[in-house]
Each structure stands twice: as C-alpha cells, then as structure tokens.
Amino acid sequence: MIKKLRGTYDILPEEVARWQYLEKKFKEIVERYGYREIRTPVIEETGLFTRSIGETTDIVEKEMYTFQDRKGRNVTLRPEGTASIVRAYLESGIKPEILTKFYYYGDMFRYDRPQKGRYREFRQFGIEAIGSASPALDAEVISLAMYMLESAGLIELELNINSVGCSECRRIYYDKLREYIRPFASVSTGNSGTFSTARLCATCQKRMDKNPLRIFDCKEEVCRKVLEKAPVITENLCQKCASAFEEVKKYLSVLNIPFVINPRLVRGLDYYTRTAFEVVCKKIDSPQQNALVAGGRYDSLIKDLGGPDTPAVGWAMGMERILLALEILKIDLPVEEKSGLYIASLGEVAFTEAFRIADRLRRNGFKVHLSGSGKSLKSQMREADRIGAGYTLILGGDELSRGVGILRDMNSSTQREIPLANLENELKTLL
Ligand SMILES: [Zn+2]
Ligand SMILES: [Zn+2]
C-alpha cells in the first residue's frame, strides 16, 4: 500500500470543519479591511525565490522543492506567498501609486524537518499591502493580524516588533557587527584562545560576508551565545528608519496594542526592511513553533524584482500552528455539529421514493444524505448518527401509503409524523 509522503498529511472530513471555520472567518475579516483575494500558481521559476528570499537564507539554501521540468526549466514549488504576489502584481501592471491590498490562502512547500505543527506541505493565510510607506499601515496590518487571532479564540499572544532598517543603515551596522563577530569567526584567533570554545557555526561563518543579519536566525547554541552581546540593528538605525519605527510604535499605542521590542527579531527572509514582527503564542514552548504570524515591511523587494520603487508591507499566518495553538489551549471552535437530513427507507418501493425526495430536496437547497438501497433500518440509523445528521426521515411502506414519513430529531431522539407533500415547509424551520 502506498503511504503519504513524510512531512505531508491528510485532513479528514471531521477535521476539515475546523479549517473551514477559520478560513471563512479570516476571509470575512480581511475583506472588511479592504483586502481582495489573489490566487497565484503554486509553481514558479526558481529565480523568483532566490532573488527575493535571498541566496543565503535557509529556505533557498536547503528547504526548497526545486526540480527541472520536462523542458529543463528550473522550477520551484512556492515556499512562501509574497514573491509570487509581487510577480503577479508587476505582471498585471497595477499603478504603484494606488494602495493595493491582496490576501491569499494556500499551500506552501518547504523541505524541513517535520514535527508537530511543522510540515513540508503547509497552509498559509496572508496579506500584502502594496503602495504605501506609511508607518500607520504597518500598525494597521499588525492590528488586523492580532484581531484575527483573537477572533479565533486565541489568548496568551505576544507581539514582538523590531526594525531591520534599510540598506543605508545596514551598511554601517554590518561593519560594526562584522567587527564584533570577527574574533569568533576566524579559525586562527591565535593568542590566548579565549574564543576557542565560542566559534560560530560553519553556516554563520559563510553568512558573515553576504548577510550577517541572518546570524541572528541561527538556532545553534554557540552562535546564540556569541550574539548575546552583539550590537543590534535597532540601535543603529538611520534617522529616517528610526523615526519610522517611532511612528509604528505610536500608532500601535493609539490602537492599545501592547508590544515587545525584540532587537534579535530579523526574520528568515532577506527582503524585509524596517518593520519586522511576529506574534507568538506563549503557551507553545517550542521557539520553532510558537510564531503564529510573521511579517514586515519589504520596501525594496518590488524594485529588486525589476519593478518601480514601491513600498509594501505584509504578513503570513501558519494555519497548522494556529490550529495547534487552539488545541494546546483547549479552545474548541464553534463548528456545526449535527446538520442536514438523512433519509432512511425500508424496502425497494420506499427507497425509490426516498431517492426521488432526496433529489428534490437537494435542488431546493437542503443538505440531504441518502445511502444505497437494501440496508436494514438499524444500520441506516447508525449511519445517520455517524455522519452527524440533524434529522432523519424514515420512509416505510405503511407511511408511504398514507403520504407521510417519520421525522426523527437526532439531538433529542424524539420523532413525529410529517406529511411528505409539505416537506420543504416543515424542514425550512428545522435545517
Ligand atoms: Zn535606514
Ligand atoms: Zn550559526
């Protein structure tokens, strides 16, 4: 028997109800904030991701599903949503001076080590607001994310924010950071050997030249230790970035949204500028799983991908993480439990009538379950129970001859006769 691939999983119908509940709720909320849905391909040219996410990021270096198609093109299953949306935005020729608000929902792929809440195929719900550099917009998208999580019933949330600056402030900051890191990086520190036990991992040694900020993303204990006293970007912002960050904080305060400034929050993707943020659920212990939403500003990405200079901000939420957090917090989503009508019938004649009635009711807007003919009443009732029908209509020869059926309320287990001719009217108030 063929089994599912490692890192993937099936969402069975009983669980799908929870997903659908969240999807519906989230869509309804983002639309209130003016976002419109965009659907982009799951597969893109590899270059789109290497150019936007960054060559030296974990995603590009080791997590992408990249392969050659039959014509030898280098293609990749999307590991995140933003790059594709920016590509679609540029290809569609939308005027950059208009603030464009997109939301998306779909599957992403990363070849990561699978664990609870972390899969190789996972689902993200995200937004992108393209065309404004206003710090108020940063606060607005953060507020939106917080509101969505709260409306899903989540508690114990903590908003972490930081500014990762712009290319200007980074140029100066990178020099400072490299200076600080140098003793921990070179193999030949020579003299006292003070740093011999605290040497950066091989990956971080490589990162030092291209994008030293990424060192803060390293999970290795030795690197974390080295970075404890490292200069942070937040304290080395240029004038413009510093005042933009102040504005973001001001607008968050206007909305009474508490936040924690986390100077080590740099995000795993290269394209972020200025505001970076994460919302974590404090009840989840694993630091690799507790971020429910992550995002930030990416003012240079659109230009980097060949478009006009257009500022933008966005975030993505991990649906698996959100559902895991709800599970850990023991929060039940108010998903509908029993619904629809099950029609049980006794004998061939009654089944034919049930078959006709089921079709008629479905066309009139009712949700109706009907199984095949030739089953005992007992097994049909069991089936009605298992699929969670709200009511069961029982049709037997005797009832049919009188033009009635027996309607059983599956919640209260009470039953009564109802005329079949008037079925729609009777059911309208019940289903
Ligand atoms: Zn700056
Ligand atoms: Zn490292």
**Ligand nearest to the Cα of 240, by number:** 1
pLDDT for res 186: 63
pLDDT for res 403: 94
* Average pLDDT estimate for 280-303: 88
Summarize pLDDT for 163-172 with one digit per residue, the tens: 999 989 988 9
Query: Is 174 a residue whose pLDDT tops 80?
Result: yes
pLDDT for res 198: 64
Query: Is 394 a residue whose pLDDT tops 50?
Result: yes
* Average pLDDT estimate for 409-429: 92
pLDDT for res 197: 53
Work out the mean pLDDT of the chain and round it to a whole number.
Answer: 91
Query: Residue 217 C-alpha to ligand 1 middle, in angstroms?
Result: 21
Q: In 80-224, at which residue ranges do the beta strands (DSSP E only) sit? A: 100-109, 121-130, 157-163
Residues whose CB is less than 8 angstroms from the CB of residue 413 and which lie 6 or more positions away in sequence, other chains included: none
Query: Is 196 a residue whose pLDDT tops 90?
Result: no
* CB distance 215 to 224 below 8 Å: no
pLDDT for res 277: 97
The top-scoring range by mean pLDDT among 57-61, 199-203, 355-359 is 355-359
* Average pLDDT estimate for 405-430: 92
Summarize pLDDT for 205-253 with one digit per residue, the tens: 877 877 788 888 788 888 888 888 899 999 999 999 999 999 999 999 9
Question: All domains of the chain, ordered by start, with CATH?
Answer: 13-166+238-328 (3.30.930.10), 341-428 (3.40.50.800)
Query: Residue 23 C-alpha to ligand 2 middle, in angstroms?
Result: 37
Which range has the worst mean pLDDT, 35-39, 88-92, 270-274, 385-389? Answer: 270-274
CA distance 192 to 182: 15
Query: Residue 302 C-alpha to ligand 1 middle, in angstroms?
Result: 17
Query: Is 24 a residue whose pLDDT tops 90?
Result: yes
Residues with CB under 5 A from ligand 1 (ion): 165-166, 168-169, 238, 241
pLDDT for res 35: 98
What single letter denotes the amino acid at residue 180?
Y
Residues whose CB is less than 8 angstroms from the CB of residue 64 and which lie 6 or more positions away in sequence, other chains included: 46, 49, 76, 77, 79, 109, 110, 111
DSSP 366-418: --EEE--SS--HHHHHHHHHHTT-SEEEEE-HHHHHTTEEEEEETTTTEEEEE
Query: Residue 58 C-alpha to ligand 1 middle, in angstroms?
Result: 25
| Beta strand 273-281 pairing with 157-163 | antiparallel
CA distance 66 to 90: 23
pLDDT for res 115: 86
**Ligand nearest to the Cα of 222, by number:** 2
Coil, helix or strand at residue 107: strand
What single letter denotes the amino acid at residue 330?
K
pLDDT for res 4: 96
pLDDT for res 11: 95
Query: Residue 296 C-alpha to ligand 1 middle, in angstroms?
Result: 15
270: pLDDT confidence band, cut at 50, 70 and 90? confident
Which range has the worst mean pLDDT, 46-60, 116-130, 250-264, 352-366? Answer: 46-60
Query: Residue 169 C-alpha to ligand 1 middle, in angstroms?
Result: 4
pLDDT for res 268: 66
* CB distance 130 to 102 below 8 Å: yes
* Average pLDDT estimate for 254-276: 89
Query: Residue 215 C-alpha to ligand 2 middle, in angstroms?
Result: 6
* Average pLDDT estimate for 16-41: 96
Of residues 430 and 149, which shows the higher confidence score?
149
Percent of all residues in the chain with a pLDDT value above 90, rounded to a whole number: 69
Which range has the worst mean pLDDT, 69-73, 158-162, 175-179, 309-313? Answer: 175-179
**Ligand nearest to the Cα of 185, by number:** 2
Backbone angle region of 281, left / alpha / beta, with phi > 0 → left and psi within -120 to 50 → alpha: beta
Query: Residue 62 C-alpha to ligand 1 middle, in angstroms?
Result: 30
**Ligand nearest to the Cα of 207, by number:** 2
